[in-house]
Structures are given as structure tokens and as C-alpha cells.
Structure 1
């Protein structure tokens, strides 16, 4: 949080920086099936004798869609409109120069999981109430047995390769602190349909079971600080439904979970040799929360589980990168496995900064041999600033490479960890501190040994024309959830129980979803 007094009309000529004026944060959420509707409310107060500009950087779930931004001072309410970024910034600065109040919400250019609120010309002694609402799709974890709802609350210090050191987010001059003077209130409703249990591994919670249709969740403690992400795990009664869920007039969400038999039939039993490359973060930040210890545990499990006669390598990275074997990969045999195990036991967070781009560029220049598929396992806390640059590079490698990413610690970059997996048709997982890694290692290795199906098509049997999303369907894995959305071109159309949705390739059908609720 940063207050900046700039040389605008009505502002002090002197530039000052202080940690101020965010007074209160509250989160309200409603979870239905695999989707969450979240509203974050923030109260800013100017305790100074002059107008100030407050700049607040905050994290948000990667790929969340913000649909509302409202600011209120006294009885005046301002509803934001979506505009092209440069135009919005220009209008904001013009308003400040004229001495008017102005409010700007924008996404960090280098990362998709950080947003910045500018509250400009906040009058002396006044409070500004900011409300931001967004929707997001929830992750399915632990082999489809749970849905995980995450509210990111912290932005960890991130390494900037251009400066060779830590940078504040979004071009601000914020200083990182371990504690904050403000707390967060949390209120969440979860629909009970197909849910057996709700829990949290991040915070003590209390659950009201009295309501007929929803669980009501709040923090058990009165004062909860913004020092870690909020994690809510929702255990499912049935984790393999093919259903159309969350149906509202004009909108539909279809969920599929293809079986191994479905996927094998679609792949026509294709075989290919795998090479496994472990890209391991050994930067200084990995010492915090014993993240490097999680890496050692995970790597030892991986090394005992690799298939015979595959090829592999381990690349450590920090300010530079170092490979275990001089060649791109080596055969997985007893001798090389012992070398890898010895290196793993000696892993330390001693390589300085977090230059992730360099080892990935090295791999990109040395593509796998013909007939081989490359599976990269990335273990990192993701504390880098150039997220989009890294993802763009990896997107160019998708013909031969998939990335299976592990986000370690309380506050990994969710944009990086998820973005790399999505860009390369891989999978991601987040491992908080003091967590057993064995289940996550097993899941990721199992997915890496599978071939994903990429030529996916969705057929909407809804008796009306629809617009389907996403336009390019993501890959499908066996026993893994796949979600597609549709919006009826006729907004008055109401879906009925005769509606269905089919998931298929050019030659095989992978599943059919039926109406679950209307």
C-alpha cells in the first residue's frame, strides 16, 4: 500500500511516500458447482490535511473476470466503465490535473494475477469505499475429489531480471512488509449440492450448517491478517459427473470427466518415448517457509518413480542455471539415478535471484529428438516479475513440450504457475507449507505419462443457437474435469431437461452431459 503526493493541481509540490490508508478489507463469495462469484470491498481513508492519491496493488485469481468496479465517497457512487488501457490512464491523469476525484483499476502489464487501484484526489478526512466483483472457475484437486477455492491476499516480493533484484509490483515504490495494520473479513456461501465436507488448510473457520441449501463459512478468529492466501477445500460426493450445471436463463456451463477408456479410444493407443526434465528453483526466496525442503521431498519421490529407460535431467536455476548432465538428457539407469539422488539431497536455496527465463531458453534451443515428447516439471515459488515473457516463450514450445508446474509456499505467482501449464497443455498444482507432497507428485507424474487429447469439439444440443467458450478448447486428460460454456444468442431462451452437450473428437465421443439443475 502506498500513498503518493504528485505534482497535480491541488496537490502538494513535495513528494512523500508512506504506508497508508487502506482501512478495511472484506471478502464475500458465493460458490456454486465449479464457479465462484466474489466481491472484495476495501475502505480507504485519508487522514491527512490535503488530498492524496492512494495506489493499492492487490492479487486476484489468475483468469478471473472482473465485471464490476464501484467507488463511493459520502453519498456519491461512481460505477466504472471498461476502456482501452491507454485511454483510461489518460482520462485518469486529466481528472487529477483538474483537481477532480478519479478512480482507476488496471491489470499489471507483466502479470495476470496483480491489479492496481488508483484512488486519486481523495479529499482530506474522507473515506472511499471500493467494491470489486469478479467470477472465476475453481480448480479440481486430489484426483477430482475436491474443489479448491482460493482468495489470494498477498503479493510476494518478485525478482525483476531487468534490474537484477527485487522490484515492487506494477511500477510502484511499495516496500514489502511481513505484517500489515489491517485485517480481512471473510463470508462465503457454498451450495450443498454434491458436497460432503468443507474445510480450510489456511485458516481456522466456522461453518453454519443450519441453512437448507448452503454452507455459510466465516473465519473463526475475530482479527485475521492479510498474511497468506485463503484456501477453502470443498469435498465432493461424486467426483465424476458429466452434467450441465449452474444453468440460468440464457447461460450454461457443461462439465465432463472422460474415463481412461474414453481417452485411450480417442488416442488410438499412440506410443511415444518420454524425456523428463526437472527445472528446480534454487533462488534465495526458496529458503523461506522451507520451500526448498518441499523440493527435495518431491524430487526424491520423482526419482524413485520414473519409468525404466526414459531420459531425464535436473536443471537448478537462480541467478544462473546449472544442469546435472552436460547433454540435454541422460538415460535413466542406476548410475544416473544415484547421481540425481545425491544432487537432490544437497539442494539449497543458494543461487541468488530468480532467472527462470534463461533455463527455459536453453531448453527451447535444444528441442527433443524426433519421436520423443518432453515433459518439464517446474518446481518454484514463482516470485518473478516477467511472467508474460516466460509464458510467451513456453507457448512456442508446445509442439513437443508440456510443463507440469508446482507452485510452492503461501504466495506463489498463480499467474505463472497456471499460465505455464495452460500454455503448454500441462497441469499445475499448488503446495502450501507443511503439506505432504507425495499425492501431488503422483498426480503430476501420472498426467505426464498420459497423452492429452487436443482436438476437442463440443456439440450443444440445446434447441437454440449458442456462442461457445472458450473458442479454443483446452486439452483433455483421463479422469480430469473439462468445462465448456455457452451463451444463448436468444437471451429469453430457457433450457430444459431435454438439453444435452456432447464432448468429442473427429472420430470418437468422449462423453455426454445432461441437465443437473435449472
Structure 2
């Protein structure tokens, strides 16, 4: 019989993890998270606690330590096999040991093992990582502390997972989370929002460039914690120079200064206004069984497949006339609506939407490789650049294989990925967009869905930037070695990051401080040469630690790992050695290394066989009711968001409908109008391929207006567009 003292899972197994304390520090658009995991063994047997959990796929894990009573142990980064052997040897000899390692299948899954925790003993594990914050469509910077680790599907014939995920329903998560954030920026902080309840924002200075915020007390770690940070004038280019580590060898990445450059390219308006929208838009929709699950634990009535279909509706309605498109869907097998891409028209759009409406999450597993290979095998349409949009909850076990395939075919398309629902794999969603020269979005609820979709479509309608080059203007004796992989894509107003190692007499003589340096990104846009330049000071920033160095090291490590997979079987051992050396030198984790800590000063050995206890993560909830609550809308629609992005742009600044009150009150709706559905989606569903609406009872029902009221509000400038 299991001793059920202390925290227990739904299987009545004790859980030694009591609580997690997470402290976030944000400096401009770089975040450092320090998590403290508090363990206590309340059983009468020694334990090995195993916790498999998600982290952001682009995070650089850079510190791991343990506190047992008065003893503090800092883990070392070692080659993974060596670390595992040291951990096993420590346990067999009765010593306490701690092991943190990245999954072989996906860089956003980590396994933490706390070994030989004696009865009555407590231990605090400190885990630290740094990451860049992605800029959202509404200019907010997004940080996500993931709690949900969805099970990953492994296609038939592929290798199984090296780690097993233990999960429980959200209501039974047996440990709590305390979370606080401190934010600082050169620019004022406008606001901070979250998917979870926050205490009021507190500013720390008069100019509002520093602030703190934290979750309300008693928060259960039963869902992802999403934080959105808004700065005034967020699109300002910047550069940070960070001094090297004093103990590191000069000439090495950690020993030399490193600069992180953040650019927001602005394309010449004269060029942008002359470009005709065209392209082949290929939509790939996940219809695996997991897409029937709720978007998040807060709104169980909203499913992932319904959100994916709504997203697809908005995008299809916004395509420019004359482009080409097709829709694929996949699970264990895949389907397509048209044999090949067809020209976008009222007829083809209507046919596609009728089939989209019937889509269900009924195609089995999540096997995305086969449909991707099929899409890449299709001939491209001349003068219509291919844009692939992928909608998935990211529950795949072969993440690296998928991103490698996208990278291999990056020359023939751009990839725009949408992570649908809480727990979507950040490694897959970000990886596909990065390797495919596109853009990634995460949709975890109806809020902010529309601006995200429109941002990706605007990016897709922008022409591909070609002949991208980076040049540096530095004082004599100083040179820059770019550490980032070559820039594959540049979008209007979207941030581009560059890391570079500075060698030579940086910061000396003193005149270099004043002279500073510059970086210039040159490129060709529709045959027109363009460039963006940033000047910066060479003096290292104060109190920046080694954050920039670790992010740069992470960038190099990921590039080398990708190279190793590409060259596997051909001198791959040489690349692996480089990864291990840099990982150990920088203290940043990789797929070939792990953090290992052994308590050699614990006195007597722990006696008796270890009992393994798996620490659970959140399990997705069963699908609940599909009926949504009525929505109260004060301004239902402004055409600047969802009208055609090409021929109808003249409409966007002058035309909007406004309706007050509950749109789902007991009025009589036509059969084509569904009163429980989002009014904005209802309105978009009535839009024609040309961007116009028919002024009929369906439209007036959605607007909550009479036909006469709509006629009266119709601007003369666009009278031809509303029939």
C-alpha cells in the first residue's frame, strides 16, 4: 500500500515537489528567469524524484544548483553520457545527486532528476535561463512560463521518447507557483498584462522605466503564465556591448566582448506602395485527435480545431484577388482540398470554406512530415512566391526532423507557423518559422488572435528581401565576428537580432568610447537596394552580467547542432566536439551535454533502495461544452484589420461599424448567422472574396442594425464596395 502522506497525484502517489518560486528580470527585450523548486521527502524511504517539464525552446539554460540544509552545490556542464554515468555512480554509492538534461527529441523539454533524497530531507533546486522576448503584433513583448507539457506523438517507425511525461488534470496539480517580475527599459513601460491574475503594477521611478508585478497569491501552476510587456516607442533600434568574462581566455567567445544588435528595418514607402500583392498561399492544418482538446484550462469550451478553423477563415477572407491557394490537413494521413493550388476567386474561396467548415479532429496522430514533403515536391507557380502557413498544437515527437526538412526547402518558400492552444511546442513553432524565413505566432485564446493573423499575412504579402549583407564600421584595431546565422528574412518593422564577437582593443584607447561603432544591414527589395544603419557606443554596459554572451553562445550551439544533424555520418563527431566544448565553456546547455551535481559532503551514505516518484505536469482537460458565452461588443469591426490588404486599403481609414449592447440577445437571426459565434468572425464570414459585403439580412443581423441605419452610415467614398 502506498504511503499517501504529503502531496499526492491522482494515482495517490506522493509528490516530493512542494512549490516553485519564479523570479523574472526583464531588461528591455531580454529576460532572465530564476526558478527555485522546493522538494521535501515526507516518506520513510529515500526517493529519486523525476520531473519532465517544458521550457521555452529558444532559452539558454545557464545555471543549475542545489541547496541541502547548509550545503550549496553548483552543477557543472559535462558531456551527457559522462554526466549520466556520474549520476548513476553517485546513487549506487548512496550519495545525493542532481541531473538536468535536455531531451534528445526537442530542445523545449527538460528532465530534472533529484536522486537519493533521504526521509525527512528537504532540497531547493535553482534553475536559471535567459531568453529573448518576441515582439507581438500589438507591439507587446511576450514572455511565457510554460506549465503545460502535452504528450508528443511519435510517427510509426521513428524512435520513441527518451523521457516519459507524467501528467494530471489541472485541478490536481500538487504544487503551487509564486511568480514575480521586475522590468526595466530605456523607454517608459506603458502596461503589463497576463493570462493569469496579477496584482497591480508598481512603478519604481518617476519616469516609469522600472516596474514590478507579480501573480496574485495562491496561484496553482495549472496553466501557462503568459506576460505581455508594452513599452512606449517599442520599435527603437538598440545595441548592447557586454564585457567578456575576466577568467575566460582572450580570443574565446566568453573572453571577448560581445555586442547584441536589435534592428527594426523600415522599407522605403515608395517601393512598398508600388508592389502588387501576389503569391501562392498553402495552408496546412493539424487535424490530429489532440486538436479536439481545449485551447487552455481557462476556457475549456473553445477547442483547438475550432480556433484553427477560425484563424483559417480570417486569412482566407483576406487574400488578394488573383493569388493562388490550397488547403492541406493532416493527422496520421493527409488530405488536400484541390489537387494543386488554384486561383483565388469567389468560387474557389466558397468551395474551400465549405470544406473547412466540415473539418474535424479525426485524422489520428500528428504526422506532419509527409504532407510537408508533398507540398515541397509540387512545382512553384512563376511570379507567385510560395508562402506556407502551418496550424498545429505542436504535439510531435520528431521536432528536429521537421525543422530540418523546412530548412532544407527554405529556398522555395517562406514558412509562417501558428501554435494553437496552450502547451504548443515552442521549439517546433519557432523552429519552423526561423528555418523557413517566416514568422511564428502563438494563439492560446480568442483575444489577440486577429492582429496576430493579420500581421503574419502582411509579412507574407511583403516581397522576399534578397542579397542580405551585414557590414561593420569599427575603430582601427577592432573587428567583429558575426555569431548569428545569416539573416534569412527581413520584414517591415519586425526585429532582427545580430550577435557579434568583438576582438582587438575594444574600449581602449578612451577615444574609442566616443567614436563608437556602427552596423549596416544592406538588402535588395523588389530590385531596389536599401539599407538600415545603427550607431552604438563601444563602452560595455554596466551590470549586464553575461546574459548577452550566453544568448550568443546559445545561438552558436543551435547552429552547430543543426549542422551536426545535416552532416550526420559525415564528420559529425567533429561538430559534436565543438558543441560540447562551447557548452562547457559558456555554461549553456545543449543536446550533447547535461548539468550534473553530486553532494560529496553529505556525511554518511543514503541507505536502502530508492523509490522513484514522477513529478506530474498539467494534463489537458477533457473537451467541455462548445457553447460560448454571449459577447458584448462596443465596436465590432474596423476595416483596418481585416479588410483586403490590397485593393480595399482606401476603405480602412474611413469606414467602421459600431453597435452597442448584447449581440446575442433574443433577436431573430437568419439561419446562416450563428448567435453564439464571435460577431467579428460572423462579419468576416459574410465578406466576399473582393472585400465587399452584400447588404442583406445576414449582415444587418450581425451588425445589430437595420438596413436603413447601415445605408445611412455608408461613406460615399466606398459606396461601390457595399452592394
The two structures share one fold, judged by TM-score above 0.5: yes
Structure 1, 363-372 or 302-311: larger mean CA deviation: 363-372
Asked if 1:218 corresponds to 2:239, the answer is: no
Deviation at 1:458, TM superposition (A): 3.0
- Equivalent pairs counted in the alignment come to 496
Deviation at 1:247, TM superposition (A): 5.5
Mapped to 1, the partners of 2:214 and 2:514 lie a distance apart of 35
Structure-2 change in CA distance of 1:318 and 1:101 (3 Å): same
Which has the larger helix fraction? 2
Structure 1, 26-35 or 44-53: larger mean CA deviation: 44-53
Structure-2 change in CA distance of 1:513 and 1:55 (3 Å): same
**Aligned partners of 1:29 and 1:38 also within 8 Å:** yes
Tell me which residue corresponds to 1:356.
368
Mapped to 1, the partners of 2:234 and 2:189 lie a distance apart of 11
SS at match of 1:99: coil
**Aligned partners of 2:281 and 2:389 also within 8 Å:** yes
Deviation at 1:56, TM superposition (A): 0.8
Tell me which residue corresponds to 1:21.
16
**Aligned partners of 2:65 and 2:126 also within 8 Å:** yes
Mapped to 2, the partners of 1:491 and 1:426 lie a distance apart of 38
Structure 1, 492-501 or 472-481: larger mean CA deviation: 492-501
For 2:288, which of 283, 291, 300 is the aligned residue?
Answer: 283
For 2:487, which of 465, 473, 478 is the aligned residue?
Answer: 473
Asked if 1:432 corresponds to 2:444, the answer is: yes
Asked if 1:502 corresponds to 2:519, the answer is: yes
Mapped to 2, the partners of 1:477 and 1:263 lie a distance apart of 16
**Aligned partners of 2:523 and 2:531 also within 8 Å:** no
Asked if 1:453 corresponds to 2:445, the answer is: no
Tell me which residue corresponds to 1:177.
169
Deviation at 1:57, TM superposition (A): 1.1
Post-superposition Cα deviations, 1:419-443, rounded to whole Å, max 9, x if no partner, equal 1000111111111123242212211
Deviation at 1:352, TM superposition (A): 2.6
SS at match of 1:488: strand
SS at match of 1:159: coil
Tell me which residue corresponds to 2:332.
319
For 1:375, which of 361, 384, 387 is the aligned residue?
Answer: 387
Deviation at 1:78, TM superposition (A): 1.6
Structure-2 change in CA distance of 1:96 and 1:238 (3 Å): same
SS at match of 1:489: strand
Mapped to 1, the partners of 2:275 and 2:399 lie a distance apart of 34
Structure 1 residue ranges, 4+ long, deviating more than 6 angstroms after superposition: 269-272
Deviation at 1:343, TM superposition (A): 1.3
1:394-405 counterparts in 2 under 5 A?
394-405=406-417
Structure-2 change in CA distance of 1:236 and 1:40 (3 Å): same
Structure-2 change in CA distance of 1:225 and 1:462 (3 Å): farther
**Aligned partners of 2:465 and 2:523 also within 8 Å:** no
Post-superposition Cα deviations, 1:397-439, rounded to whole Å, max 9, x if no partner, equal 1110221011111221111110100011111111112324221
Post-superposition Cα deviations, 1:466-496, rounded to whole Å, max 9, x if no partner, equal 4432143342112111121234336973773
Tell me which residue corresponds to 1:157.
151
Tell me which residue corresponds to 1:10.
none
**Aligned partners of 1:195 and 1:234 also within 8 Å:** no
Deviation at 1:176, TM superposition (A): 4.1
Mapped to 1, the partners of 2:466 and 2:270 lie a distance apart of 11
Asked if 1:308 corresponds to 2:321, the answer is: yes
Deviation at 1:264, TM superposition (A): 5.0
Structure 1, 193-202 or 362-371: larger mean CA deviation: 362-371
**Aligned partners of 1:157 and 1:176 also within 8 Å:** no
Post-superposition Cα deviations, 1:376-414, rounded to whole Å, max 9, x if no partner, equal 111111122221121112211111022101111122111
**Aligned partners of 2:389 and 2:417 also within 8 Å:** yes
Post-superposition Cα deviations, 1:239-293, rounded to whole Å, max 9, x if no partner, equal 332222475673432211111218959xxx9989521111111222222222222
Asked if 1:130 corresponds to 2:122, the answer is: no
SS at match of 1:260: coil
Which 5+ residue runs of structure 2 have no aligned equivalent?
1-10, 245-256, 295-302, 542-723
Mapped to 1, the partners of 2:536 and 2:384 lie a distance apart of 41
Mapped to 2, the partners of 1:196 and 1:370 lie a distance apart of 46
Asked if 1:256 corresponds to 2:263, the answer is: yes
Structure 1, 469-478 or 231-240: larger mean CA deviation: 469-478
Mapped to 2, the partners of 1:465 and 1:193 lie a distance apart of 27
**Aligned partners of 2:330 and 2:367 also within 8 Å:** yes
Mapped to 2, the partners of 1:78 and 1:270 lie a distance apart of 60
Aligned-residue CA RMSD (Å) = 2.9
For 2:83, which of 88, 110, 113 is the aligned residue?
Answer: 88
Mapped to 2, the partners of 1:153 and 1:293 lie a distance apart of 23
Mapped to 2, the partners of 1:501 and 1:264 lie a distance apart of 25
Mapped to 1, the partners of 2:56 and 2:375 lie a distance apart of 29
Asked if 1:112 corresponds to 2:119, the answer is: no
Mapped to 2, the partners of 1:396 and 1:201 lie a distance apart of 37
Mapped to 2, the partners of 1:335 and 1:81 lie a distance apart of 62
Asked if 1:205 corresponds to 2:198, the answer is: yes
**Aligned partners of 1:242 and 1:514 also within 8 Å:** no
Mapped to 1, the partners of 2:270 and 2:501 lie a distance apart of 28
Structure-2 change in CA distance of 1:272 and 1:19 (3 Å): farther
Post-superposition Cα deviations, 1:117-160, rounded to whole Å, max 9, x if no partner, equal 111122222112111111111101115x2211222222123222
SS at match of 1:158: coil
Deviation at 1:65, TM superposition (A): 0.9
TM-score, normalised to structure 1's length? 0.88
**Aligned partners of 2:189 and 2:210 also within 8 Å:** no
Structure-2 change in CA distance of 1:200 and 1:465 (3 Å): same
**Aligned partners of 2:64 and 2:128 also within 8 Å:** yes
Deviation at 1:70, TM superposition (A): 0.8
Mapped to 1, the partners of 2:54 and 2:120 lie a distance apart of 27
Mapped to 1, the partners of 2:168 and 2:152 lie a distance apart of 10
Which 5+ residue runs of structure 1 have no aligned equivalent?
1-15
Deviation at 1:512, TM superposition (A): 1.7
Structure-2 change in CA distance of 1:491 and 1:224 (3 Å): farther
Tell me which residue corresponds to 1:229.
224
**Aligned partners of 2:280 and 2:324 also within 8 Å:** yes
Mapped to 1, the partners of 2:468 and 2:243 lie a distance apart of 25
SS at match of 2:452: helix
For 2:400, which of 388, 395, 409 is the aligned residue?
Answer: 388
Structure-2 change in CA distance of 1:153 and 1:163 (3 Å): farther
Asked if 1:413 corresponds to 2:418, the answer is: no
Structure 1, 115-124 or 16-25: larger mean CA deviation: 16-25
Mapped to 2, the partners of 1:303 and 1:364 lie a distance apart of 21
Deviation at 1:462, TM superposition (A): 4.1
